[in-house]
Amino acid sequence: MQDDKTAEASATEDPFVAALLREREGYVARGLDERVSQVDEQLKLRNFNPRNAPKNTKAQPKQQTR
């Protein structure tokens, strides 16, 4: 089962946009707000606005894996 972000990345036909969305997801998970903003700028240059994407990483709880 795919989550919304993964489904969104696979729904785009542009492989570069899909890669940016996956990259963005990694930065959000690690709390790298500045990098998220940089990826968002690149997405906007490609006329793509991620739906329901968090504006910053502070709103996202960090997941712990063991």
Q: Confirm whether 64 is domain-assigned.
A: no
Q: Confirm whether 40 is domain-assigned.
A: yes
Structural domain range at position 28? 4-59
Question: Can you give the pLDDT at residue 12?
Answer: 75
Q: What does the alpha-carbon distance between residue 43 and residue 41 come to, in Å, rounded to a whole number? A: 5
Q: What does the alpha-carbon distance between residue 16 and residue 12 come to, in Å, rounded to a whole number? A: 9
Question: Can you give the pLDDT at residue 1?
Answer: 45
Question: Can you give the pLDDT at residue 24?
Answer: 95
Q: Confirm whether 65 is domain-assigned.
A: no
Q: What does the alpha-carbon distance between residue 64 and residue 62 come to, in Å, rounded to a whole number? A: 6
- Please report, in tens digits, the pLDDT of each residue of the chain (66 residues total): 445 555 555 567 889 999 999 999 999 999 999 999 999 999 999 999 876 555 555 544 555 566
Domain count along the chain: 1
Q: Confirm whether 39 is domain-assigned.
A: yes
